[in-house]
Amino acid sequence: MFVYRIAGKKYSDDITGTGAAKYGSRWNKKGTPVVYTGESKEIALLETHVHTPPIIIPKLDIVTIEIPDHSVTTIEIDKLPPNWKLYPAPTILSEIGERWVNKSKTIALKIPSCIIHSAYNLILNCRHPDFSGVKIVDIKNFEFDSRLVK
């Protein structure tokens, strides 16, 4: 299975989860290395867009990552707390993510996007014993369309 990540050029070949571990986010606590990806290039773009300040247009790459199809845990919307899509994210979500990372049963956690609920993001567990099987298969320059920065 292929997943996608849009990242600054400086970090596009880094799938160690260092950035997410440094700051923590919706599905991980500070100190836990994960990589946030999207099931499509389009959802990866939307996720990048909502997290990029409008005055900054960084130099970006789109990264294609291959993960094992059989190592995915899916959480559907009806299994999430009612406030799951709020910003800032409720703490319960990072707790769910931490439990999933610590159990280490699968490499990827597939969860609905807060932006488009029918689309999915996949969080990659960098601590999973089989994470070495996760591979970057392509890195291409990504041009941010200026109309997205209005």
Report the predicted TM-score, pTM, of the whole model to 2 decimal places.
Answer: 0.95
What confidence tens digit (pLDDT) does each residue in 71-123 have?
999 999 999 999 999 999 999 999 999 999 999 999 999 999 999 999 999 99
Please tell me the predicted confidence (pLDDT) of residue 80.
97
Q: Where are the domains of the chain?
A: 2-149
- Residue 119's H or E segment, with its range, is none
At the top level of CATH, the class of 2-149 is alpha beta
Please tell me the predicted confidence (pLDDT) of residue 54.
63
- Residue 48's CB: how many other CB atoms inside 10 A? 21
Mean of pLDDT over the chain:
94
Please tell me the predicted confidence (pLDDT) of residue 58.
76
Distance (Å, rounded) from C-alpha 100 to C-alpha 108?
Answer: 9
- Residue 64's H or E segment, with its range, is strand 60-66
